[in-house]
């Protein structure tokens, strides 16, 4: 299936941000790079802040995809799934050029995108927590309600913290996160109900 015009625009915006910085991304430049009219760019992504949100949403989809895949690979081992999902997210982050460009703001004053990942990251957190909650549903857990929500929140925030500022290798950090999750879940071999 060929990429949509919207995805081509977002991919081009990511490439331009990585190559020359967010401040150099213009709708006219995107239109030229993708081979569409400037109006088409506006129709597909709206304004430049809308484009920024679309870029972040596109990257988030990639990250959540590796989380889902990790849980699919560990259907009977919740802690193993959490370890694999954490490692996959951290490995993807390690090699993500857009994330590095945003976090390091290496292109002058390109800090406009950073709040989308930090102070205004409610939608990022909500999406990540929703995916993790959905993936935990098939497992038998001693936690429920507010306690389960708190555990999910803590795990997601710890992983995102390490995405933004790594302190070890993805594998080491994933092991640490899995250890914490096992303690919180009180059963290092939490089993699946189905």
In a domain, 18, yes or no: no
Is residue 181 assigned to a domain? yes
Over 70: is that where the pLDDT of 179 sits? yes
In a domain, 20, yes or no: no
Note the pLDDT of residue 91.
94
Tell me which residue range forms the domain holding 69: 55-185
Q: Give the pLDDT confidence of 141-165 residue by residue, as tens digits.
A: 877 788 889 989 999 989 988 888 8
Instruction: Identify whether 129 is part of a domain.
Output: yes
pLDDT grade for 188, boundaries at 50, 70 and 90: very low
Structure confidence by residue, pLDDT tens digits, 55-70: 888 888 888 999 999 9
User: Residue 102: inside a domain, yes or no?
Assistant: yes
Query: What is the count of structural domains for the chain?
Result: 1
Q: Answer yes or no: is 80 within a domain.
A: yes
Written as one string, the DSSP assignment of 73-118 is H-TT-HHHHHHHHHHHHHHHHHT-HHHHHHHHT-SSS--SSHHHHT
**pTM, to two decimals:** 0.78
Mean pLDDT, the chain, whole residue set: 83
Confidence of residue 110 (pLDDT cuts 50, 70, 90): low
pLDDT, tens digit, 9 for 90 and up, residues 20-48: 888 888 999 999 999 999 999 999 999 88
């Amino acid at each position: 299936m060929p990429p949509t015009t919207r995805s081509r625009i977002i991919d081009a915006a990511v490439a331009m941000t990585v190559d020359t910085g967010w401040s150099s991304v213009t709708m006219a430049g995107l239109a030229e790079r993708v081979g569409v009219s400037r109006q088409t760019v506006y129709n597909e992504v709206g304004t430049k802040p809308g484009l920024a949100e679309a870029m972040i949403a596109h990257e988030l989809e990639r990250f959540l995809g590796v989380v889902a895949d990790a849980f699919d690979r560990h259907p009977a081992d919740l802690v193993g799934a959490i370890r694999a999902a954490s490692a996959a997210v951290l490995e993807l982050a390690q090699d993500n050029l857009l994330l590095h460009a945003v976090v390091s703001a290496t292109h002058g004053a390109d800090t406009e995108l950073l709040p989308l990942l930090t102070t205004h990251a409610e939608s990022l957190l909500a999406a990540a927590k929703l995916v993790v909650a959905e993936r935990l549903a098939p497992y038998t857990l001693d936690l429920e309600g507010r306690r389960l929500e708190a555990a999910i929140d803590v795990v997601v925030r710890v992983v995102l913290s390490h995405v933004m500022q790594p302190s070890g290798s993805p594998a080491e950090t994933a092991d640490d996160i899995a250890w914490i999750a096992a303690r919180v879940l009180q059963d290092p071999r939490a089993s699946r109900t189905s």
